[in-house]
Structure 1
């Protein structure tokens, strides 16, 4: 009977059922020697495939990639060639119009400022959605996507893959077991930005490459003349398109702290940075967030805690006992939990 389960029925069974099916032997699903029949594959379309999107696609390349969209066909040329059966688009709206009814899920890995509009349209079409981190460009947009996902009952995932790594679970387990006592201070840093920041808005006019649709890249942002400093990749440091080093990496690095300490909203916030500019994120900054006490756990209390963030080359002082030659930067950053009994240090993904 399981061999007769179609792709459509499989999707309609919901995300919970899907997770359960992935752990049973292939033979139960009628798959011999690792072969997956076309009816068991998902039809997936991708938006923003030249950068991080290429890596995400590689992880699902065994599915039916039926459509790919990118505003820069030079930057994404290699990816297009890797999926010759997928139809190519500049405009995601045209792809939705033509392939929307056939698609089961949508991958979104564009610049931050277009995440919400592309993902929200996919969700309202009833499509399951994977959105790269940071989830959105603004807090409002994140809340909107959360409400839409609940309303349309679709499976969603944000690209902070480290959240499910073993390191995060170990960090939580040790803290919840009281191994380092009550945590009253957390320090976190990243080695970002590794793209330009702290720059004034460029002047002059540059010719738009023929392979780039600049208007579609701008999307919902305010119109501005093209300059190669914005895209590809470097949009992260510009406020109209990205969220700077903190927005780009804190969703990874601070996740163990939020999860292990069950943090909600801070009651106080204070920041300091290099020169503030209207268009570009600062070269470096430090931020202090104060979170109120939470409900105590069985083996440890959850008192008020101060969380410090550093980027742009700024780092916290090295805790006592850390070997002098030990690099605390693990895959892009690190988190230091200061407890009343001991100190715990984990990497970017736990």
Structure 2
């Protein structure tokens, strides 16, 4: 005995089978069936978020959220079928059941809020650097990702590039000997820093929800010096030049030298203000010796790592090629070894040895 519903279902399935190929067949033809694509939502899509989403354009971009719809307009235009939001909480409430993964590129101070909410909903998260606004928040996200068993990644371009791999290979093979000193720098900030809080209170643009932008930060009047993009130098919203770029430039340092926590830190800077990061700074960190490692042929003694920003750079070592710019794509790092000096650019790109030798 066949019910009307099951009869119709079987009939429709049989008819569909004539024209619709199974997903594994479609995949075999070089196409991804819609059912096999991820449903992705973007939060903070006016700048880097738009670039991140563009790299996922093969997937289903189903929702977009930004507190400033004028700044986000280009991204909105990229995905006319995606539902638009200003408040990420409303987006999660309305579309949470349909979202597989979230790409987040908001201001630093709202990274942890938007990401932790997504993780506790069981959503996979790609979160732009710097990971969070504080150390506590980073540890919180780490614990949540482990608890909810979701895939997570920080937007640290270059971390998986050939330059980082080559730098690590040369260090671990002993090409420059033991390393006791590293110097690194960035050409940032390229946004306003070293400023006092502006006194002028401006009219909030109609396309911007200033309250949502502030999020967990203390309330302050709107001023165009904060948004868009220039929030990076203000402590309530960003982390300054070091927070913005050290994750790129010090990545090959931490990975190559297998660093964890420093035992001593000392810093100096231009005028230190309460609201805004300084114009320039130098930070010296001392890391303890690391134990022998099966992949490393050289000892890893105590090492001093010095960071410069705001136009400051390390002194060029003896033998530096005349006329060669130390700044490579936004900064660089110098590993001073007992046998040679290794130099790489921002993101660990294009490593080379001061001696001119090219390791095999």
TM-score, reference length from structure 1: 0.91
- Corresponding residue for 1:81? 77
- Corresponding residue for 1:248? 244
Q: Give the structure with higher Rg (CA).
A: 2
- Corresponding residue for 1:54? 50
CA shift digits 1:286-312 (9 cap, x unpaired): 000000111134510010000000000
> CA distance change for structure 1 residues 29 and 326 in 2, over 3 Å: closer, same or farther?
farther
Say which of 338, 341, 347 aligns to 1:340: 338
Deviates more, 1:32-41 or 1:305-314: 32-41
Structure 1 residue ranges without an equivalent (≥5): 1-26
Say which of 103, 117, 121 aligns to 1:107: 103
**Aligned-residue offset at 1:32:** 5.3
Q: Distance in 2 between matches of 1:330 and 1:144?
A: 34
- Corresponding residue for 1:311? 309
- Corresponding residue for 1:172? 168
Q: Distance in 1 between matches of 2:57 and 2:317?
A: 44
Q: Distance in 2 between matches of 1:165 and 1:328?
A: 20
**What does 1:84-233 align with in structure 2 at a 5 Å threshold?**
84-233=80-229
**Aligned-residue offset at 1:320:** 1.9
**Aligned-residue offset at 1:269:** 0.6
Is the partner of 2:62 in helix, strand or coil? strand
Is the partner of 2:125 in helix, strand or coil? strand
- Corresponding residue for 1:18? none
Say which of 273, 277, 282 aligns to 1:281: 277
Is the partner of 2:268 in helix, strand or coil? strand
Aligned residues: 324
> CA distance change for structure 1 residues 168 and 29 in 2, over 3 Å: closer, same or farther?
farther
**Aligned-residue offset at 1:37:** 1.2
Cα RMSD, aligned residues only: 1.1
CA shift digits 1:108-137 (9 cap, x unpaired): 100000000000000000000000000000
TM-score, reference length from structure 2: 0.88
**Aligned-residue offset at 1:29:** 6.5
Q: Distance in 2 between matches of 1:28 and 1:261?
A: 44
